[in-house]
Structure 1
Amino acid sequence: MCLGVPMRVVGGDDVTALCERRGAVEPISLLLIGPVPLGTPLLVHLGTAVRVLDEEEARRIDDALDGLAAAMEGKPFEHLFADLIDREPTLPDFLRGDPPG
């Protein structure tokens, strides 16, 4: 399983950004996405930025990661998955088996 985490650009240059997540700062390669402005949230995997996130998506990913950690510790976690509670799951169009058109 691959896991990407949201990080925020706090410094760096056009090739390597200094990114922060919960107080830890580390260098992150920007070779896959190119230069980005300070403050930009990024999805980071193994020291490489794989895409730019908007604020809402970064928050939802953080909530999901916090929810998983809480569930593993036996703590309440449902509030961290508010976007999934009380909603029917949906399949993408290509998995529904509906005829094209």
Structure 2
Amino acid sequence: MCVGFPMRVIEGGEFAARCERRGAVEEVSLLLTGPQPPGTWLLVHLGTAVRPLDAEEASQINDALDGVTAALEGRAFEHLFADLIDREPELPACLAGSALAGATAANRGPAGEGDK
């Protein structure tokens, strides 16, 4: 499983930025996102910015990561998943039943050629 961390740009450049997360500062590649101004939240995986985040999404991801840590340590974690507790999970549109069925049919080709 891949885990990305929200980091805030403190100094931007064309190809890299200095980013901060909870006091730790690191150089982050911007090759996938392009230049980002200071103050922008980024989802960072293995030193590379994957995509920009809004402040609410960055907060939700931080809460989820804190929740996993709390659960592993045997502490209360439910309050950190307030956006998920007491609701049914939702699939993204690309994984919803009709979209998935359509993609499967399209991959088979005409008249079920993919079934051979």
TM-score clears 0.5: yes
| Higher RCO (CA 8 Å, separation ≥ 6 residues) | 1
**Unaligned stretches of 5+ in structure 2?**
103-116
Q: Percent identity?
A: 66
* Larger gyration radius, structure 1 or structure 2: 2
Residue 40 of structure 2 corresponds to 40
Q: CA deviation at 1:97?
A: 5.8
CA RMSD in angstroms, aligned pairs only:
1.9
- What TM-score, normalized to structure 2? 0.79
**Unaligned stretches of 5+ in structure 1?**
none
User: Secondary structure of the equivalent of 2:69?
Assistant: helix
* Aligned mates of 2:12, 2:39 — CA distance in 1: 11
Residue 66 of structure 1 corresponds to 66
User: 10-19 or 20-29, which moves further after superposition?
Assistant: 10-19
Number of residues of Structure 1 aligned to a counterpart in Structure 2 = 100
- What TM-score, normalized to structure 1? 0.90
Residue 6 of structure 2 corresponds to 6
Q: How does 1:14-93 map to 2 (within 5 A)?
A: 14-92=14-92
One-letter code of the match for 1:43?
L
Q: CA deviation at 1:7?
A: 0.2
